[in-house]
Chains A and B, each alone.
Chain A
Amino acid sequence: MTWLLWRQHRVQGAISGALMGALSILLVITGLHMAGTYRTAMAACRADGTCGNLSLFQGDGAIINLVSLTIVAPLLLGVFWAAPLIGREFETGMHTLVWTQSVSRRHWLRSKLLLLIGATISCSAVLTIVVTWWAGTFNSLNGDRFQPARFEIQGIVPIAYSVFAVSLAVAAGALFRRMLPALAVTVFGFAAVRILIDNYARPHYLHPLTNSLRLDQGGSIGSGAWVTKEDLTLNGVSVTGAIRAPAGCLSMTSRATMNSCMSDNGFRRLTTYQPANRYWTFQFIESGIFIALAALLIVACVVIVRRRDA
């Protein structure tokens, strides 16, 4: 089986390796450059107090876009590696050739799946390590790591997304035995699950913390926290609709004194948030969900291939 896997997938492997290598080199070069520029700029702007607007290097917009685009890497692995792995064998009838050599169907399937999952984990691990390292400078410059465009391409979740995407694609290939429907299910299925989890599951992994502050006080929830909601409350009750400021406060001349006055009359700002130190907990929970879904799909794939007639 090793020979067959090598012969069938060596071109895919070489192309993927070359792309990964090129991307890694690009990110390492720009990452080092960015870190250097950042250090120099911070030193300079601290001296003259102009740290508001840092441009890190020429053309950084393209590199930032490229890094953001790694959000589709799991889908690419699903489409180019996993869907054809079994789906194309069925579509071209090649499974009947391989299944009538002396290797059992079970052994064939196990070898293919091990290669797929192994290559997927390696590839996405390299990618996420490089991206997370590259984004280190960027993160320290711009706020929280829970933002969708960062949470989903850094840390360990990209590996879990990739394992899920390839499991979905390989199971779809086994079920439909044709490439086109398998690809459609992979793309739409992956997108649907990701969007549902992003919007409806992730904010609820852990019960959020709340912080009620006077309007004239600064935030004290710590930097890097994920603010999910901000409310204005009056005596502990959320204010909806038009705000009716106390008559005495309306005559205040500055915003600061007005805030102070409002706070004296019972107005508070209620922040609902996930603190920054929950970042890795969230990464693990989200990864666990996707790995569990992937495991179900792999089991389904094995059952379909072993039960169904050729």
Chain B
Amino acid sequence: MIAPSRPGETMAITTTQLGKRYGTTGNSKAKWALRECTLDVPEGRICGLVGANGAGKTTLLKLLVGLARPSSGSVRVLGQPSDTPAFLRDVGYLAQEVPLYRRWTAADHLSLGANLNGVWDGEAARERLQSLDIPLDQRVGTMSGGQRAQVALALALGKRPRLLLLDEPVAALDPLARREFLASLGAAVAESEGGLTVILSSHLVSDLERICDYLVVLAESRNLLSGDLDGVLASHRLLTSARRDIGSIEHQHTVLRVEHTPRQTSVWVRLEGTLHDPSWQSEEMSLEDIVLAYLARRPVQAADAPAAIGGVR
């Protein structure tokens, strides 16, 4: 079993059967962008949100920050439902497009933060940008993508949020800018001493592996896996043996993928307890392999995913 959280932890985020459908109700073209998503993220964690494009990552983050309203289910953020504007004080959000006023300077954006937030740490935000050699009086439209992302991050952190939601902030950045961005983020988390929860969506698993300690996998608009990163790594195995039937494994554990060659059987599996059969050779899976195993599951299998989640949580 993957423990979803350590005992005694309070949750930064709790969603219950959360769903979002775009298009009018009753319209056959209406499409679920997210469905039956039930997950918890404990406070103080850095949570990676992984999934293919269109898996519902952006929708989930928008629901969490109140930019979209749920079609079904409910969300609690920092103990409050997200339809009350009061929770906004404690939440920082950075959208995928990194929206900034292109003709404004970085300093203008910090003034915006100071004027639109009750709590505002302008000094820290300025220091953050100065330490990165980002000129405060330069128009952001003339800055590099990496610098713009840093300005947006400084703006999101300036309100001293308890929850920071980042929607693919590094997707468009070059590798160096990406590393700098993640370093800034790591520094901010360290400074907060456990007072800041981060949810970071990305399809770059290697980035998440470096910084995250919690993982949520979304595919086909559903939540397939959520849990502590160490637990996730510990509970997934690639089992190999001479070609054989996998009935005994399927009975006890969750099989993600099976491959039979004439001589060998390979099973990618989530262990739901100890593995008793010593005839299987057991290998650890990398995080990338684990994520890929979930994302590559056939739609037929994806359909029974909610049941599998029940086993995880």
Which stretch of A61-69, A93-101, A121-129 is in the interface? A93-101
Q: Does B97 contact A (CB under 8 A)?
A: yes
- Chain A residues within 8 Å of B66, by CB: 99
CB distance from B90 to the nearest CB of A (A): 9
Which stretch of A102-110, A247-255, A256-264 is in the interface? A102-110
Counting chain A CB atoms within 10 Å of each CB, which of B111, B112, B117 scores highest?
Answer: B112
In the bound complex, do residue A310 and residue B68 qualify as a contact, i.e. CB atoms below 8 Å apart?
yes
CB distance from A86 to the nearest CB of B (A): 15
In chain B, residues 58-89, which have Cβ atoms closer than 8 Å to a Cβ of chain A? 62, 65-69, 85, 88-89
In chain B, residues 154-179, which have Cβ atoms closer than 8 Å to a Cβ of chain A? 155, 159
**B101 — nearest CB in chain A belongs to which residue?**
A94
Q: Does B113 contact A (CB under 8 A)?
A: yes
CB distance from A87 to the nearest CB of B (A): 15
Q: A4-B116, A309-B67, A310-B67 are in contact. Are A102 and B99 (CB under 8 A)?
A: no
Instruction: Mark interface residues in A1-16 (1 if CB within 8 Å of B CB, else 0).
Output: 1111001100000000
Q: A92-B99, A100-B92 are in contact. Are A3 and B67 (CB under 8 A)?
A: no
Q: A100-B67, A309-B67 are in contact. Are A105 and B93 (CB under 8 A)?
A: no
Instruction: Mark interface residues in B97-108 (1 if CB within 8 Å of A CB, else 0).
Output: 101110010001
CB distance from B13 to the nearest CB of A (A): 16
In chain B, residues 206-261, which have Cβ atoms closer than 8 Å to a Cβ of chain A? none
Report the Cα distance A92→B113, complex, angstroms: 19
Secondary structure type dominating chain A contacts: helix
Report the Cα distance A100→B62, complex, angstroms: 10
Report the Cα distance A96→B62, complex, angstroms: 9
A4 contacts which of B99, B112, B119, B159 (Cβ < 8 Å)?
A: B112
- Chain A residues within 8 Å of B67, by CB: 96, 99-100, 309-310
Q: Does B196 contact A (CB under 8 A)?
A: no
- Chain A residues within 8 Å of B111, by CB: 3, 7
Report the Cα distance A92→B95, complex, angstroms: 12
Number of A-B pairs, beta carbon distance below 8 Å: 64
In the bound complex, do residue A104 and residue B95 qualify as a contact, i.e. CB atoms below 8 Å apart?
no
In the bound complex, do residue A102 and residue B65 qualify as a contact, i.e. CB atoms below 8 Å apart?
no
Q: A3-B111, A97-B99 are in contact. Are A103 and B116 (CB under 8 A)?
A: yes
In the bound complex, do residue A102 and residue B159 qualify as a contact, i.e. CB atoms below 8 Å apart?
yes
In the bound complex, do residue A101 and residue B117 qualify as a contact, i.e. CB atoms below 8 Å apart?
yes
Interface residues on A, range: 20 to 34
Q: Does B131 contact A (CB under 8 A)?
A: no
- Chain B residues within 8 Å of A93, by CB: 95, 97, 99
In the bound complex, do residue A309 and residue B116 qualify as a contact, i.e. CB atoms below 8 Å apart?
no
In the bound complex, do residue A101 and residue B95 qualify as a contact, i.e. CB atoms below 8 Å apart?
no
In the bound complex, do residue A102 and residue B118 qualify as a contact, i.e. CB atoms below 8 Å apart?
yes
Q: A96-B95, A310-B62 are in contact. Are A101 and B88 (CB under 8 A)?
A: yes
- Chain A residues within 8 Å of B108, by CB: 7
**A106 — nearest CB in chain B belongs to which residue?**
B85
Report the Cα distance A8→B108, complex, angstroms: 10
Q: Interface residue count for B (Cβ, 8 Å)?
A: 29
**B104 — nearest CB in chain A belongs to which residue?**
A7
Counting chain A CB atoms within 10 Å of each CB, which of B95, B119, B155 scores highest?
Answer: B95
A94 contacts which of B68, B93, B99 (Cβ < 8 Å)?
A: B99
CB distance from B125 to the nearest CB of A (A): 13
CB distance from A89 to the nearest CB of B (A): 9
Q: Does B91 contact A (CB under 8 A)?
A: yes
Q: Does B25 contact A (CB under 8 A)?
A: no
B113 contacts which of A1, A101, A309 (Cβ < 8 Å)?
A: A101
In chain A, residues 1-35, which have Cβ atoms closer than 8 Å to a Cβ of chain B? 1-4, 7-8
**B87 — nearest CB in chain A belongs to which residue?**
A102
- Chain B residues within 8 Å of A4, by CB: 112, 115-116
Q: A94-B101, A104-B88 are in contact. Are A3 and B115 (CB under 8 A)?
A: yes
In the bound complex, do residue A97 and residue B100 qualify as a contact, i.e. CB atoms below 8 Å apart?
yes
B93 contacts which of A3, A96, A106, A309 (Cβ < 8 Å)?
A: A96
Instruction: Mark interface residues in B108-147 (1 if CB within 8 Å of A CB, else 0).
Output: 1001110111110000000000000000000000000000
- Chain B residues within 8 Å of A102, by CB: 88-89, 116-119, 159
CB distance from B116 to the nearest CB of A (A): 4
In the bound complex, do residue B62 and residue A1 qualify as a contact, i.e. CB atoms below 8 Å apart?
no
Report the Cα distance A294→B178, complex, angstroms: 49
**B115 — nearest CB in chain A belongs to which residue?**
A3
Report the Cα distance A3→B89, complex, angstroms: 19
B85 contacts which of A96, A97, A98, A105 (Cβ < 8 Å)?
A: A105
Report the Cα distance A1→B159, complex, angstroms: 16
Report the Cα distance A4→B88, complex, angstroms: 18
Q: A97-B95, A102-B159, A309-B68 are in contact. Are A7 and B112 (CB under 8 A)?
A: yes
Please list 28 pairs of residues, one from A and one from B, whose beta carbons are closer than 8 Å in the complex, sorted by A's number: A1-B116, A2-B115, A3-B111, A3-B112, A8-B101, A93-B95, A93-B97, A94-B99, A97-B100, A97-B155, A98-B112, A98-B116, A99-B67, A100-B65, A100-B88, A100-B92, A100-B93, A101-B113, A101-B117, A101-B159, A102-B88, A102-B89, A103-B88, A103-B116, A104-B88, A106-B85, A310-B62, A310-B68
Q: Beyond A93-B99, A105-B85: 17 further Cβ-contacts under 8 Å?
A: A3-B112, A4-B116, A7-B108, A7-B111, A96-B67, A96-B95, A97-B100, A98-B116, A100-B91, A100-B93, A101-B88, A101-B113, A101-B116, A102-B119, A103-B88, A310-B62, A310-B67
Interface set of B (CB-CB < 8 Å, partner A): 62, 65-69, 85, 88-89, 91-93, 95, 97, 99-101, 104, 108, 111-113, 115-119, 155, 159
